Amino acid sequence: MLKKLYRKLRSRKITEPVYGRRGDHVTIREPIVVTHPERLFLGDYVHIGEEARLATPGGLQIDRGVVIGPRLRVYTANHNYRDAETLPYDGRFLLQPVRICCNVWVGGDVVIVPGVTIGEGAVVGAGAVVVRDVPPMAVVGGNPAQIIRTRDRDQYDSLKAQDRIYLKLKAEGRIQIEEVSLN
């Protein structure tokens, strides 16, 4: 009986999870783990790098034009430890959505905790641990993530007005990749 069930499960075709919303031209590099795909909302022209782990019971919204490097970790819930009925925490989960606004670049190995909003046009450096909201146009890095600098607002607004979104231009075959040595 168990062998039969095992064979059935092994041969079962795995279908793509049903997302809350999945925009056009979304690239998700496998493998990826999404705990509640129905609470994941993806805009158009989004790229998520390989080995992402998205714990989304509280909801995750990733807006248009977002590029995410490999091994992103997003948490949208936390255990209740304040006024808990047991130690180290109790059986209640505190749900807090995370939002990554338009045209954000999130580097590799980033961790984002519950309740955070990353503002439009921000850049999150590789390895950052984002524990509070990131203002629009900010470049942040570190643990905890701190503002390092801000992007040029005039340049950003000009590119946005022209709809020069990297993943859009790439999908249309209008962008060429080149390597530039900074040495």
Q: Which residues are catalytic?
A: 79
Reported residue count of the chain is 183
11 burial (CB, 10 Å; 0-12 / 13-18 / 19+) is exposed
b (16+ CB within 10 A) / e for 164-181: ebebbebeeeeeeeeeee
Dihedral sign computed on CA atoms, order 35, 37, 41, 47: positive
- Cα-Cα end-to-end distance for the chain: 64
* Three-class DSSP category at 48: strand
CB 113 within 8 A of CB 128: no
